Structure 1
Amino acid sequence: MINPKRLRHGSTVGVIAPASPPNVQSLQKAMPFLNNLGLNVKIAPHVSSTYGYLAGTDEQRLHDLHMMFDDSDVDAIICAGGGFGTSRIVDSINYKLLKQNPKIFWGYSDITYLHTAIRQKTGLVTFHGPMLSSDVGKKEFDPLSKSMFSQLFHPTLLEYTESTSPLHVISEGEATGKLVGGNLSLLVNTIGSKYEINTKNRLLLIEDVGEEPYRIDSFLSQLKLAGKLDEAAGIVVGDFKDADPKKREESLSLQEVLDYYFASLNKPVISGFKIGHCFPHYAVPLGSKATLSSSSKSLSVQPGVS
């Protein structure tokens, strides 16, 4: 794996919107946070563009991504928001350019597709963390979520225990492997493509938002049938926001769905991690070596920067 270089005071962050249009007001409110970290900010040309539910055409969003990786003055790239659209550009990305210019790449949600493709095509460690319009620019953005950006300035061993949030052991065990994954629905979308998520001997992180138990059941069923659950070394269950059943009066609970797929896996599976569409939002480097342990109810992740 390639660990991008750490940030320093005076480093420049490039802002892109590779999926849906960000909330411009919320994005503007996020700028002082970056400035207070001692960072300069460069906004990509098409961040405020719109093309239906996309932040500009595929060509425009791809241009911004390539521009920021190619710009030697830019030290990190942070996504303004998620939504939809990264799968439309993933096959046109110049992965050679990205590999020759490794730098911090940060986002989550729909950005999961880019995390997966970039890691598997280039070996670059990327970061699953709060985005500018979606999180940083909101009043709910809390101190713990803010503190997660410090890992970009100093190589940091992350230790997630119940001191951060209550954790629930679904299946016991301990395993070490590269941490991969992200948004569950986006991971499922990779199945059958050249960017299909590789979970073999890896710790698989899953999270999602606004999906009812029957939908989560469907996603996990596809991962199971594709062999992704059996191949994984362990499962890190992040936050599933707004997962209460709405369309169906009779429903399995989210916990019943998780137990069905994970309780008999004979590998560590722990839920309750505040990773995903939530506050606090715990940021983690994807591709870094990590250890998941049921005995200590913990997730340990090696530093993402060098």
Structure 2
Amino acid sequence: MVLPKRLHKGDTIGVVAPASPPNIEQLDRSLPFLEELGLKVKMGKHVRKVDGYLAGTNEARLEDLHEMFADPDVKGIICAGGGYGTGRIADQIDYNVIKNNPKIFWGYSDITFLHTAFFQRTGLVTFHGPMLASDVGKENFHELSKKMFQQLFDPKELHYTEDISPLSVVNEGEAVGPLVGGNLTLIRSTIGTPFEIDTVGKLLLIEDIDEEPYCVDGMLNQLAMAGKLEDAAGIVVGDFKNAVPKRRKSSQTLDEVLNYYLKELKIPVVKGFKIGHCQPHFAVPLGIPAKLSSRSKTLTFFPGVQ
């Protein structure tokens, strides 16, 4: 486990778009927030490129990623947005550049593939948090979501309680382990690849957006058959935005699907966390030890920076 160094006012943040093209208007609208945090901004050379559903070619997106990690003046990297595309570049990344230049890396959704790859290849602790064009630049960006960026400056423990959102216990128990995972679609896409997620002894975070219950069923079924659910020390169920039937008149509910796959596990499972495609979005460090307790309905994290 490698902790990145904390940020200080006056530091430079690099902005990259390793997946789909970000909404440029919303990206530009997000930049004053970084300035309010006391940060300078270095924009990746290819952030505004468009190659169909990708933010530039694989080579262009890789170049931005490598340059931001290699640049000693850049103290942290925040993704402009998600969408699709990180899985296409994961096997082309020079992980020695990341290992030799560990620094803050922040994003979610499609960025889940990079979180997983970075942790497994380098041990770097990264952050599952709201992105610039996707979240910060929108008018409904929540005050709590803004406050979550402070964990990058001040290495304190994070505590998620029911003061933030109601939590439901699927399975009782307590467990401690590194938090891994993120977007369920991307977690599933690692199966059978060199970056297949390792859940042994870990707390597994799952969240997603716009996936019907039968789609969530299929993804959890694959994780279950691959042993990823049973191997985990506990499961943190984040936000599943718009996980409702759309094309099918007859459907199970999301809760029925979650209970089918998670209820019989002999590990703690708690759902209702506002982590994912939601506001507020409680940003969390990935790879850092965390404690999940059904008894107190809490999720506690050690600091993600040093």
Q: Which residue identity lines up with residue 56 of structure 2 in the other structure?
A: G
Give the match for residue 200 of structure 2.
200
Residue segments in structure 1 that go unaligned for 5+ positions in a row: none
Distance 1:145 1:97 in 2: 30
> Any idea what SS the aligned residue of 2:34 has?
helix
Q: Deviations over 1:91-141 (max 9, x none)?
A: 000001100000000000000000000000000000000000000000010
Structure 1 residue 59 and structure 2 residue 84: aligned? Answer: no
What is the TM-score of this pair, normalised by structure 2?
1.00
Give the match for residue 184 of structure 1.
184
Q: Where in structure 2 are the equivalents of 1:105-124 lying within 5 Å? A: 105-124=105-124
Distance 2:83 2:142 in 1: 22
Q: Where in structure 2 are the equivalents of 1:105-254 lying within 5 Å? A: 105-254=105-254
% of aligned pairs identical?
A: 63
Distance 2:110 2:156 in 1: 26
Distance 1:14 1:156 in 2: 24
Give the match for residue 38 of structure 1.
38
* Residue 3 (structure 1) shift: 0.4
Give the match for residue 91 of structure 1.
91
Distance 2:267 2:115 in 1: 25
Give the match for residue 100 of structure 1.
100
* Residue 46 (structure 1) shift: 0.2
Q: Deviations over 1:68-98 (max 9, x none)?
A: 0000000000000000000000000000110
Q: Which residue identity lines up with residue 39 of structure 1 in the other structure?
A: L
Distance 2:27 2:185 in 1: 25
Q: Which residue identity lines up with residue 88 of structure 1 in the other structure?
A: R
> Any idea what SS the aligned residue of 1:144 has?
helix
Q: Which residue identity lines up with residue 231 of structure 2 in the other structure?
A: E
* Residue 264 (structure 1) shift: 1.2
Distance 2:10 2:3 in 1: 20
Distance 1:83 1:263 in 2: 31
Q: Where in structure 2 are the equivalents of 1:14-25 lying within 5 Å? A: 14-25=14-25
Give the match for residue 257 of structure 2.
257
Q: Which residue identity lines up with residue 258 of structure 2 in the other structure?
A: L
Distance 2:240 2:159 in 1: 21
Distance 2:173 2:96 in 1: 38
Distance 1:222 1:266 in 2: 19
> Any idea what SS the aligned residue of 1:147 has?
helix
Q: Where in structure 2 are the equivalents of 1:268-283 lying within 5 Å? A: 268-283=268-283
* Residue 266 (structure 1) shift: 1.6
* Residue 183 (structure 1) shift: 0.2
Q: Deviations over 1:249-294 (max 9, x none)?
A: 1000000001001111121000000000000000000000001010
Q: Which residue identity lines up with residue 205 of structure 1 in the other structure?
A: L
> Any idea what SS the aligned residue of 1:75 has?
strand
Distance 2:258 2:192 in 1: 24
Q: Which residue identity lines up with residue 269 of structure 2 in the other structure?
A: V
> Any idea what SS the aligned residue of 1:38 has?
coil
Q: Which residue identity lines up with residue 155 of structure 1 in the other structure?
A: P
* Residue 156 (structure 1) shift: 1.7
Distance 2:271 2:80 in 1: 27
What is the TM-score of this pair, normalised by structure 1?
1.00
> Any idea what SS the aligned residue of 1:275 has?
coil
> Any idea what SS the aligned residue of 2:74 has?
coil
Q: Where in structure 2 are the equivalents of 1:70-81 lying within 5 Å? A: 70-81=70-81
Distance 2:218 2:105 in 1: 30
Question: Over aligned residues, Cα RMSD in angstroms?
Answer: 0.4
Distance 2:158 2:263 in 1: 26
